[in-house]
Amino acid sequence: MLDPKLIRSDAQAIAERLKIKKYELDVAGFEALEERRKAIQVETETLQSERNARSKGIGKAKAAGEDIAPLIAEMDKMGAALEEKKAELKVLQDELNALLSGMPNIPDEEVPTGNDENDNVEVAVWGEPTTFDFEVKDHVALGEGLGKLDFETASKLTGSRFVLMRGALAKLHRALAQFMLDTHTETNGYEELYLPYIVNDESLYGTGQLPKFAEDLFKLHADREFYLIPTAEVPATNIVRNEIVEEAELPLQFVCHTPCFRSEAGSYGRDVRGMIRQHQFDKVELVQVVKPEDSDAALETLTSHAEGILQALELPYRKVMLCGGDLGFSAVKTYDLEVWLPGQQAYREISSCSNTRDFQARRMQARYRDQASGKPALVHTLNGSGLAVGRTMIAVLENYQQEDGSIKVPEALKSYMGNIDVIR
């Protein structure tokens, strides 16, 4: 959530900045609503103040042994008037809250304008697209050729956009997650977490998936508002929800490997082939909770941690800065890492690293105690994939393929793969 004070002070300027993100703020409407809210709030609070004063007076009178009946009679009308104002105020506040909680974060000054992923700006390229002296296959052909990637059976078990992995590919998938976790904990200083895969609606509100993006989520059929996590960012970031963290404890650096569940509503025609876009996929997620002055630098290091995995696996990739139109709801700035996929002759997203500054923190009321002032202040939160495990496996299959359809095992993974050299 944006700082309401900021919007009140200059709604027009905020509206301009949000246009970069394709969000149209009705400035006049907002200001009218806000003006009414303020007026009603003042009236309500005046009534409340009077009621409190009089009630206190009744208490005193009673303690002094006076007759309080006439005083109570005097209060008769007040109650009704107050209730009315309160109800009126609540309607306005709900309306404002709905508006506020649906407003995206303001992009950083550096973020380029643009409509979609085609307008993202390449900031770095690592490695060269892998070349082959034979005709390359995509991961579907490779995986099915090995008899270890089975989409048909998965669709029997569940439906489309699921996959069944077998044998060495199931192991490769596990090895990748293992390798990522070990790297982030042992060399990058993250604390490993095991987290719930089901979260409540408050957590999803905290990180910004709700109320606006409910259709992207799998909701459980339960008495409570429970959802499958669309990313470990949700539980990992919400650890600090409604907490005041001591300044000395920052930064918090969490890493965890979880499945992620996304309904992929609205992407029916996209990436229907293979396991690029699934309803269930594994991801190793990095989350950092930092002091405000550290968050810009933290985005760079967090992104470099994700890049480190690609480099260790010797997978060619490029780093792009998302343009305004492609930027997520909560983010002020996002780097996507796109790995080279020979089967598609294209770079495809494998990691997304974002700084949300205080946007999620405000929704979550996640704060730290500032030593200098002694006052609580909002933390900044960041998250990034380090990396998407399924897509990393696709990249390994396609970049390490051999003419006979077998897959070389990347050097960094050998110890995790029982020291075999090739998957066949």
Positions that interact with RNA (CB under 7 A): 4-5, 8, 38, 41-42, 45-46, 48-49, 51-56, 58-60, 62-63, 68, 72, 75-76, 78-79, 223-224, 244, 367, 374-376
Residue closer to RNA (CB basis): 58 or 312: 58
Which candidate in 51, 277, 318, 369 is catalytic?
A: 277
Residue closer to RNA (CB basis): 159 or 374: 374
Which candidate in 17, 161, 262, 348 is catalytic?
A: 262
Known catalytic residue: 191? Answer: no
Known catalytic residue: 54? Answer: no
Residue closer to RNA (CB basis): 244 or 272: 244
Known catalytic residue: 362? Answer: no
Smallest separation (angstroms) from RNA to the CB of 334 = 27
Which candidate in 117, 349, 369, 406 is catalytic?
A: 349
Known catalytic residue: 352? Answer: yes
Known catalytic residue: 203? Answer: no
Smallest separation (angstroms) from RNA to the CB of 304 = 33
> How far is residue 364's CA from residue 1's CA, in Å, rounded to a whole number?
9
Smallest separation (angstroms) from RNA to the CB of 12 = 17
Of 208, 207, 229, the closest CA to residue 218 belongs to 229
Residue closer to RNA (CB basis): 347 or 368: 368
Smallest separation (angstroms) from RNA to the CB of 14 = 15
Smallest separation (angstroms) from RNA to the CB of 324 = 27
Residue closer to RNA (CB basis): 139 or 367: 367
- Are the beta carbons of 279 and 261 closer than 8 angstroms? yes
What are the residue numbers of the active site?
Answer: 262, 277, 349, 352, 391
